[in-house]
Structure 1
Amino acid sequence: MDTKHLPSNLRDDMISEETKSLISSLPSHTDAQGGKICKYQGCWYHYNTLQGVLNFQRGFQPQDTDIILASYPKSGTTWLKALTVALCDRSNNHSSYDHHPLLSVNPHGIVPFLELNIYHESSSPDLAKFSSVPRLFATHMPLHAMHETIKDSPCKIVYICRNVKDTLISWWFFKCAVYKTELNRSSLESIFKSFCNGTFSYGPFWEHLLSYWRGSLEDPKRVLFMKYEEMKEKPHDQIKRLADFLGCPFTKEEVKNGLVNEILDLCSLRNLSGLEINKTGKINNIDHKVFFRKGEVGDWKNYLTPEMENQIDTIIQEKLQGSGLKF
């Protein structure tokens, strides 16, 4: 399989001999696109992603004011990054947001992933450019993968989750775009099967969800659990909730002056997808435009059969049973 055109984390030619030795002792699998994944600490990773996870676990030194934006892939990550940047950047007083960083830089360029970008090649990267307070980082790692590294830090974690069926369809479109493969029934069924048995990148999906859900129950001042569907249904309430958690609540004057609406409009799919940088740019060999599709709730109904729906609903109900987490 030719991997030269793929993002670096999907290639397996940049890992250390030590990591190769570790991988040889781990459960391994070939995913729906033919990529090699292995199971480490209960989570499935592409080989190069595992290298980044290991580098992060060895080298990351959290600061008390750090904010880590976490998600299972294709769950609203780009939107959460944009909103958080806009909220934390309010002190810079951008005039009507005419010159806001989000207008010229993709959200993934402003808030990089710890294991996929920053620590991908080294356990001691240069973090000098992250001089602002708070530092903003992102991750797709489950919470337990970060626990030992950040357990003694009061840094804050925001997790966004999404209905698994919409996540699955978004993954399907994204994977086919990245691997440059055809969107067809066969590829959807392959991804669906991997999703359901848990052998999927960063899976099992339910373990990922539960790690952050339990973390938010155990330490609500440190871990905020947000649902994509609630953000879509009540954006004003949810962005205020996010701002409160991050320690930068809206003032009465900001609300009165329409700043909440202004930020929501700036970070909307309609606005971000229409920007030139997000139509033409690239990051990690992935076109920016691939990160913006429909962003709709319930789009899965256009693709999944009733049998698929029932199967995945049954699995999620079983796996989340007793947790208190529902969709």
Structure 2
Amino acid sequence: MMENTQIITKSNDLAETDEVAELLPSLPKETSWRSGYMYRYQGFWCPEKQISAVIAFQRHFVAHKTDTILVTLPKTGTTWLKALAFSIMNRAKYAASQNPLNSFNPHGLVPFFEYKLYANNQIPDLSVFPSPRIFATHVPYPSLPDSIKNSSCQIVYLCRNPFDTFISLWHFISQARPERFGPLSLEDSFDRFCNGVAGFGPFFDHVLGFWTKSLERPEKVLFLKFEDMKEDINSQLKRLAEFLGCPFSAEEERDGVIEGISKLCSFSNLKDKEANKTGMSIPGFENNTLFRRGEVGDWVNFLTPDMVDRLNKIMEQQLAGSGLQFKTCF
């Protein structure tokens, strides 16, 4: 169980050589939505505190062929995907009543590379993680370590329509933003999102990077959509289990195992767990802020017609010819 696993670390040489400190002045930067700055590193907007962790991740992580890497943009269903993948991969190990999700936040069970494992100038000893290992990241495809891209380990990517992604992100950052910076303007945040200035974005670059790879290498990258999962979670869980190499048996289907995992990992059930009401599994973000509504179409309550028109035009332009489409409401 990852939450209780002691991760042995050693100091990262990056801190000793001041490489990151020398790098930052050369990078384009923008004020972060929350505090501090975001820097455009390798084509994406990376929060300042995560740059050294991303570099260490790229240099030191050695993928195993049995690894599973969960990838998302912030606020596109990350917590849900972690819970589902963990439950599918560990269903033979834990009965539903004994599943660690009853006691631990999903982010403690499936750690982030850039927010946990390689954070704070540390290099983790990942040998303490039992195989098959499961990790998570927000890093876009071109910036993943070569060991991930070139190995037979698998990538599961979950995306969400840009309208709901933006609204969820705006609410989330608003709660974590220090009061001294004042309220986070919806209009200003929307403008920046449309211009691609958001953590680990631009949004469409990130999504299309994994969409393209899922078409080129479907055995390597599974591309999931938040909206499809909300519409028919059971069929999507079957897709996920098959991709992960642990498909549900006919007996499991008859016994309601799929429905059991769906219920255990549902938004309402996870939100109600004590472990998700208190504590902090991602540095700087309270666990209770990870769960707001988790619905499709909530953006209609916040965006003006002009905003909707602007983002629709951007989406049509960015996705033209890709074959990728989003459901923005039911």
* TM-score (norm. length: structure 1): 0.91
Partners of 1:74 and 1:186 lie apart in 2 by 16
SS of match in other structure, 1:159: strand
Residue 154 of structure 2 aligns with an amino acid whose one-letter code is: K
SS of match in other structure, 2:166: helix
CA drift at 1:34? 4.5
- Residue 82 of structure 2 contacts residue 107 of structure 2 at CA under 8 Å; is this kept in 1? yes
Cα distance change on mapping 1:15 and 1:233 into 2, 3 Å: farther
- Residue 56 of structure 1 contacts residue 123 of structure 1 at CA under 8 Å; is this kept in 2? no
Cα distance change on mapping 1:145 and 1:84 into 2, 3 Å: same
- Residue 15 of structure 1 contacts residue 48 of structure 1 at CA under 8 Å; is this kept in 2? no
CA drift at 1:146? 0.7
Cα distance change on mapping 1:120 and 1:247 into 2, 3 Å: same
CA drift at 1:323? 1.1
Partners of 1:100 and 1:16 lie apart in 2 by 43
Partners of 1:99 and 1:216 lie apart in 2 by 34
CA drift at 1:305? 0.5
Q: Map Cα deviations across residues 220-271 of structure 1 (whole Å, 9 max, x no partner).
A: 0010000000000011110000000000100000000011110000000111
CA drift at 1:286? 2.0
Residue 313 of structure 1 aligns with an amino acid whose one-letter code is: N
CA drift at 1:109? 0.4
**Match for residue 144 of structure 2?**
146
CA drift at 1:136? 0.7
Q: Which runs of 5+ in 1 are unaligned?
A: 1-13
- Residue 32 of structure 2 contacts residue 47 of structure 2 at CA under 8 Å; is this kept in 1? no
Aligned positions of 1:278-317 closer than 5 A: 278-283=276-281, 284-317=283-316
Residue 25 of structure 1 aligns with an amino acid whose one-letter code is: S
Cα distance change on mapping 1:35 and 1:16 into 2, 3 Å: farther
**Match for residue 159 of structure 2?**
161
**Match for residue 174 of structure 1?**
172
Q: Map Cα deviations across residues 101-131 of structure 1 (whole Å, 9 max, x no partner).
A: 000010000001111210123463122331x
Partners of 1:16 and 1:181 lie apart in 2 by 35
Partners of 1:16 and 1:310 lie apart in 2 by 48
Residue 162 of structure 2 aligns with an amino acid whose one-letter code is: V
Partners of 2:94 and 2:32 lie apart in 1 by 46
**Match for residue 3 of structure 2?**
none
**Match for residue 259 of structure 1?**
257
Cα distance change on mapping 1:122 and 1:33 into 2, 3 Å: closer
Q: Map Cα deviations across residues 86-107 of structure 1 (whole Å, 9 max, x no partner).
A: 000111141xx11210000100
CA drift at 1:147? 5.0
Partners of 1:79 and 1:205 lie apart in 2 by 19
CA drift at 1:152? 2.3
Cα distance change on mapping 1:109 and 1:185 into 2, 3 Å: closer
Partners of 2:179 and 2:250 lie apart in 1 by 50
Residue 169 of structure 2 aligns with an amino acid whose one-letter code is: W
Cα distance change on mapping 1:20 and 1:247 into 2, 3 Å: same
CA drift at 1:74? 0.2
Deviation >4 Å, runs of 4+:
none
Partners of 1:139 and 1:263 lie apart in 2 by 23
Residue 105 of structure 1 aligns with an amino acid whose one-letter code is: F
Partners of 2:286 and 2:45 lie apart in 1 by 25
Cα distance change on mapping 1:248 and 1:28 into 2, 3 Å: same
Q: Map Cα deviations across residues 38-81 of structure 1 (whole Å, 9 max, x no partner).
A: 11111011112111110101100111100000001000000000
**Match for residue 6 of structure 1?**
none
Aligned positions of 1:1-327 closer than 5 A: 17-94=18-95, 97-122=96-121, 124-130=123-129, 132-146=130-144, 148-181=146-179, 187-283=185-281, 284-327=283-326
CA drift at 1:280? 1.6
Residue 241 of structure 2 aligns with an amino acid whose one-letter code is: A
Partners of 1:310 and 1:15 lie apart in 2 by 49
Give me the CA root mean square deviation: 1.9
Q: Which runs of 5+ in 2 are unaligned?
A: 1-14
SS of match in other structure, 1:62: coil
- Residue 19 of structure 1 contacts residue 51 of structure 1 at CA under 8 Å; is this kept in 2? yes
